[in-house]
Structure 1
Amino acid sequence: MILDDLVAATRIRLKRHQEKVSLAQLKRRVEQQSADENPDFLSILNNPGLHVIAEVKKSSPSKGTIVSNFPYLQIAETYDKAGTDAISVLTEPDYFNGHLNYLKEISHKVTAPILRKDFTIDPYMIYEAKANGASIVLLIVAILTDHQLREYRELAEELGMQAIVEAYTEDEVNRALQSDAKIIGINNRNLKDFHVDFNNSLKLKSLVPANIPVIAESGIQTQADVAKLAGAGFKGVLIGETLMRAADKQALIQAFKASTAVTDSKATK
């Protein structure tokens, strides 16, 4: 299964990082950081409408290289200028060609909150995310215990960050709720085989109480997709490949945001 391979690779990478920079050193770096001036992501999600999280991603296990030309700073700045509500940055190097430096460098160039998109399996990675400019971390239910889900979310919040708790099945949504997740992501992609079903998020959305913002992830390609999710009550969409392949990323983000505005207008009539 692809997910097992990703976690195994993450464990090896984590050990290398810990040998280079100790947890104590990371904690000191976090303590020395100035107060985070970026907007609070949970507050953004609780504003009216559906919010766009634009992803900086070069490759994926299912698609291989998505783009060969990868000016990641320019891409992130384009997203920011387009008014995206958050920016997701892949830091997983073995299967997604991500890098922690992308996160660090992008954080100095944009004002939008930044999600470290990775396979968080240890508190070290949460401190590492914070030290390198992230204001959001991803917690994947399928790879964490119930104790870890709660512990890691609480740690992220103690460090002034938010956690997106990601689920793919009904059982995982229930586990996310039991962990008192403040934000839930529903993935349309099965991380075990990378099959995508756009309707997965629509099917599971009703399990989440209305007071908890839900983000749809993966397989979102068109304005019609975004409008459908907005109409179903989602508070955010995470879009990667579609934006990475777009010739005019700024125009596409603005089109996505316009399609949600139309839905909001209809809902108030």
Structure 2
Amino acid sequence: MTILDEIIAAKRKEIKEYQGVESTSVNGFPGKFRLAERLRDGRGVIAEIKRASPSKGNIRIDVDVAEQAKIYERAGAAAISVLTDELYFKGSMADLEKVARLVSVPVLCKDFIVDSVQIDRAKNAGATIILLIVAALEQRELEKLYSYAQAKGLEVLVEIHDREELDVALKLGAELIGVNNRNLKTFEVSLERTAEIAGHFPDSGDSLLISESGIFSESDASYAFNKGASGILVGEALMRSADAGAWIESVTSSEVEK
């Protein structure tokens, strides 16, 4: 069993606790623009709040989520991603709601979504974007969850790992397509994965490419942007940085080599 298989099995068991529980709509969140619109205006950073991970262990367990979100927004992050998985990433829906109530940029619920009840919980906690991982879902599940999220007014970041999954995402009509540079079966990382997918990404159309994972330096960010990514998703580098705001400003400025 791969790490991804293990996580998905645990997630399917976990969501049984939510079945039959009425989802209460939560209001009072600041208005937010669409991430796709922001990325069409230029390179963008999806800045992530990530307490821990299976591969790195504890990263910054005691992070002040509200303060970190403020730093990200002030620095010009295109969106803020919040890891909500509790078992493997030490996140929570409470983290997501805290961020969503505070910021005016789009908020991504980063989790392993396998059921519509998770989408309801994400929306009610203030998320404007949800993640669907092609490798974690059967085709019918993916299509159903994608349509469900769209009907709820949410943007969907469809995560892929190879050319075959890229075809699946494109046929789905996904506007936001994220290539995970981390192999979720082995957890090995290579930015070459972004370059490979970018080489087969359609030049025309509405789809936008986002490079995820393995981006730690300005040169890594520049590489991803230069290969064709409209956005990058960065977690660990920002969580460990002494000045996350400066990091974001640096990689999105015109001074970075294009």
TM-score (norm 2): 0.93
1:187-242 Cα offsets, whole Å, 9 max, x none, are 00011121111111111112221331000000001111212222222110000000
Matched, 1:152 2:174: no
Return the alpha-carbon distance in structure 2 between the equivalents of residues 239 and 119 of structure 1. 18
Following superposition, the deviation at residue 263 of structure 1 comes to 5.5
Q: CA RMSD in A?
A: 1.7
Asked if the contact 2:51/2:61 (under 8 Å) is kept, the reply is yes
Following superposition, the deviation at residue 119 of structure 1 comes to 0.2
Matched, 1:199 2:200: no
Q: Determine which of 58, 66, 83 is the counterpart of 2:59.
A: 66
The equivalent of 2:106 in structure 1 is 113
1:52-107 Cα offsets, whole Å, 9 max, x none, are 00000010000000124311111111111111010000000111001111001111
Return the alpha-carbon distance in structure 1 between the equivalents of residues 176 and 232 of structure 2. 12
Matched, 1:89 2:95: no
The equivalent of 2:127 in structure 1 is 134
Structure 1 gap segments, 5+ residues each: none
Secondary structure of 1:166's aligned partner: strand
Return the alpha-carbon distance in structure 1 between the equivalents of residues 213 and 178 of structure 2. 10
Q: Which runs of 4+ in 1 moved over 6 A?
A: none
The equivalent of 1:254 in structure 2 is 249
One-letter code aligned to 1:17: Y
Secondary structure of 1:224's aligned partner: helix
Structure 2 gap segments, 5+ residues each: none
The equivalent of 1:29 in structure 2 is 25
Asked if the contact 2:83/2:89 (under 8 Å) is kept, the reply is yes
User: Relative to total residues, which structure has the larger helix share, 1 or 2?
Assistant: 1
Shift in alpha-carbon separation, 1:255–1:180, aligned structure 2, 3 A: same
The equivalent of 2:214 in structure 1 is 219
1:136-192 Cα offsets, whole Å, 9 max, x none, are 000000011222222222221221110010001121111111212111000000111
Q: Determine which of 220, 243, 268 is the counterpart of 2:238.
A: 243
Aligned residue pairs: how many? Answer: 255
Q: Which moved more, 1:236-245 or 1:170-179?
A: 170-179
Return the alpha-carbon distance in structure 2 between the equivalents of residues 90 and 191 of structure 1. 16
Matched, 1:163 2:156: yes
